[in-house]
Structure 1
Amino acid sequence: MSAMSLIRLLVLAALWGASFLFMRIAANPLGPVVLIEVRVAFAAITLLLVSIYLKNTLKFTDNFKHFFILGLFNSALPFLLFAYSAQFLTVSTLAILNSTAPIWAAIIGAVLSKKMFTKRVSMGLVLGSIGVSVLVGMEGLRIGESAVFPITCALMAALCYGIASNYAKNAPQVKAYDNAHGSMWASVIIIMPLLPFFPVRESFTFDVLTAVMLLGVFCTGLAYLLYFRLIAELGAPSALTVTFLIPIFGILWGHLFLDEVIGLNTLIGSILVITGIMFVTGFSPAAAFKKRILKNG
């Protein structure tokens, strides 16, 4: 991995970790529906402007059904669920729960393929479950019984990502950039009918508007571009290592900007979840580093 690729990977993790910070700031004043509609709209417009610059025409109607399925499970539904949860949970909790997506993807893949888990994957699922339990248990003590539903929503958002990743494996062959661009416009259309039923709770303040713009333009639109650049440079397995870094940045941003306490349960929970993901995905930092050295040597 080159120095520039490493920098891009860290920037992407920082952006996706920051997305939970911005949702935490804007979710209560705007409500989940308005927040996410503005988020995907900003992202879609950003990707449109980039498409115009690159002279890349999106054939939306040719892959209408595909973009809507991807938009529902990879953007609209998980974004809404996380935005709802952001009204109650800390940034670090949201980021750690989000990182369980590869675990959900493995479970769904095993069910669809009707294959038993290997011992390694089973160990990963156990470790990940224990990590989530540690995190959820302390959040329950902090917030009370009302924490159950937002925690469940955040886990269901990660489940949506697992569904989307399994769908993408057998989906129509569409360019990665077009998938991001088309699914964002589909998300805009999916969420739009909900707006009359969930109006803005408070007026747009400068802080809230700034948070939403950063969330849509940088943490969604430009982050997708960066992610696909990394896939082209490193391949999908190496690019997915960003999953392990997002909780670190989520914990950091929450502490720096919202004075969230980094408790022992947060550290233990994140370590267990990240270790579980490594077991489930088969990713080994040592093996990846050795492979990179052999390739370059």
Structure 2
Amino acid sequence: MRPRDFLELLLLAALWGGSFLFMRIAAPLFGPVPLIELRVGLAAAVLLPLLAWRGKLGQLRQHAAALVFVGITNSALPFVLYAWAALSVTAGFASIVNATAPLFAAWVGWVWLKHRLSPGTLVGLLVGVLGVIILVWGKASFRAGGSGWAVAACLAATLNYGVAANFTKRYLTGVDPMAIAAGSQFYAAVLLAPFAVWLWPDVNPGADAWLAVVLLAVGCTSVAYVMYFRLIAHIGPARAIAVTFLIPVFGMLWGAVFLSEQVTGNMLAGCAVILCGTGLATGVFRFPALTRAEKT
């Protein structure tokens, strides 16, 4: 990997880690649904002209049904769930749960598409579950004032990412990745618009909240998508997925620096175990015994 690609990978992780910070800032003032409407709407406004410049705007109509489904499962629903969870849990905590996305993708692929689970993937899934248990230990209270429902919302959001990843692989293989990115944001914005109007806050949020929205939409969504697809083209998807391991680092860092969030022992231990499980499930980490078992 060239130094330039590595720096771009770090910047991408910093942007995606920052999305949890900006949701934490803006969600209490806008509300989850209006915030995400602004996020996907502004992101679409940036991505659609880029897609038109590449002459592939027609793919939005050609693959409309599939892109609507991806817009729901990869953007509208998980973004709203994370924004709602941001009212109760820290940015660092949410970013760690987000790292389970490859685990959910493997599990959904096994259940839905009957993908074979290698011994390494199976062990990775079990280790990842252990990491989630460590992470939420003592936090998943569903009593009044507890954060149990927020934790469940984070996990449900990440499950949606797993569904979207498998759906995209099955039904949108060969479609320009920029069309998938732009189309999913556009259709998510269209679907959320009436709910956002209905739930729009009575008091207009201040300049800081609007700045967080712009940074979330433009930096953490549209620019991040473009960077991610560039990385896939330059270093391949197997290496680009390494961004998953860096996002929690930045999520915890930005939360601690800008919001004085506490990084607990449970978070560090859960993060380490989850990332270990993710590495095993995706093949980034390999143990000789598991590798031999896969070949037999």
TM-fit CA distance, 1:200: 1.4
Separation in structure 1 between the aligned mates of residue 82 and residue 138 of structure 2, nearest angstrom: 19
Query: Which residue of structure 2 lines up, in the alignment, with residue 150 of structure 1?
Result: 150
TM-score by length of 1: 0.91
Separation in structure 1 between the aligned mates of residue 195 and residue 182 of structure 2, nearest angstrom: 21
Matched, 1:101 2:101: yes
Separation in structure 2 between the aligned mates of residue 111 and residue 16 of structure 1, nearest angstrom: 28
Percent of matched pairs sharing the same residue: 39
Distance 1:51 1:169, change over 3 A: closer
TM-fit CA distance, 1:218: 0.6
Give the CA RMSD over aligned residues: 2.1
Separation in structure 2 between the aligned mates of residue 227 and residue 115 of structure 1, nearest angstrom: 25
Deviations 1:24-69 (A, max 9, x none): 00011110010000001110111134345x4434112222112101
Distance 1:171 1:236, change over 3 A: same
CA contact (8 A) 2:91 2:255 kept: yes
Query: Which residue of structure 1 lines up, in the alignment, with residue 273 of structure 2?
Result: 272
Query: Which residue of structure 2 lines up, in the alignment, with residue 243 of structure 1?
Result: 244
Query: Which residue of structure 1 lines up, in the alignment, with residue 190 of structure 2?
Result: 189
Choose between structure 1 and 2: higher helix proportion.
1
TM-fit CA distance, 1:128: 1.1
Query: Which residue of structure 1 lines up, in the alignment, with residue 74 of structure 2?
Result: 74
Equivalent residue of 1:102, what SS? helix
CA contact (8 A) 1:85 1:151 kept: yes
Query: Which residue of structure 1 lines up, in the alignment, with residue 30 of structure 2?
Result: 30
TM-fit CA distance, 1:115: 5.2
TM-fit CA distance, 1:252: 0.5
CA contact (8 A) 1:31 1:201 kept: no
Separation in structure 2 between the aligned mates of residue 232 and residue 132 of structure 1, nearest angstrom: 32
The letter for the 2-side match of 1:244 is F
The letter for the 2-side match of 1:180 is A
Deviations 1:142-166 (A, max 9, x none): x976311111011010001100110
Separation in structure 1 between the aligned mates of residue 22 and residue 182 of structure 2, nearest angstrom: 22
Greater shift in the superposed pair: 122-131 or 108-117: 108-117
The letter for the 2-side match of 1:246 is I
Distance 1:15 1:285, change over 3 A: farther
Deviations 1:89-144 (A, max 9, x none): 00011001111111111111111243563332222122211211121124347x97
TM-fit CA distance, 1:247: 0.5
Equivalent residue of 1:114, what SS? coil
The letter for the 2-side match of 1:189 is V
Gaps of 5+ in 2: 289-296
Gaps of 5+ in 1: 288-297
The letter for the 1-side match of 2:98 is N
The letter for the 1-side match of 2:204 is S
CA contact (8 A) 2:20 2:94 kept: yes
CA contact (8 A) 1:95 1:247 kept: yes
4+ residue runs over 4 A deviation: none
Separation in structure 2 between the aligned mates of residue 3 and residue 46 of structure 1, nearest angstrom: 28
Separation in structure 2 between the aligned mates of residue 136 and residue 34 of structure 1, nearest angstrom: 28
Query: Which residue of structure 2 lines up, in the alignment, with residue 127 of structure 1?
Result: 127
Counterpart mapping for 1:220-259 below 5 A: 220-259=221-260
Distance 1:258 1:283, change over 3 A: same
Query: Which residue of structure 1 lines up, in the alignment, with residue 13 of structure 2?
Result: 13
Equivalent residue of 1:237, what SS? helix
TM-fit CA distance, 1:258: 0.4
The letter for the 2-side match of 1:259 is S
Distance 1:209 1:286, change over 3 A: farther
TM-fit CA distance, 1:178: 0.9
Separation in structure 2 between the aligned mates of residue 122 and residue 185 of structure 1, nearest angstrom: 36
TM-fit CA distance, 1:271: 0.2
Equivalent residue of 2:171, what SS? coil
Equivalent residue of 2:284, what SS? coil
Distance 1:96 1:50, change over 3 A: same
CA contact (8 A) 2:139 2:146 kept: no
Separation in structure 2 between the aligned mates of residue 188 and residue 282 of structure 1, nearest angstrom: 35
Distance 1:203 1:63, change over 3 A: same
The letter for the 2-side match of 1:25 is I
CA contact (8 A) 1:103 1:277 kept: yes
Separation in structure 2 between the aligned mates of residue 229 and residue 45 of structure 1, nearest angstrom: 20
TM-score by length of 2: 0.91
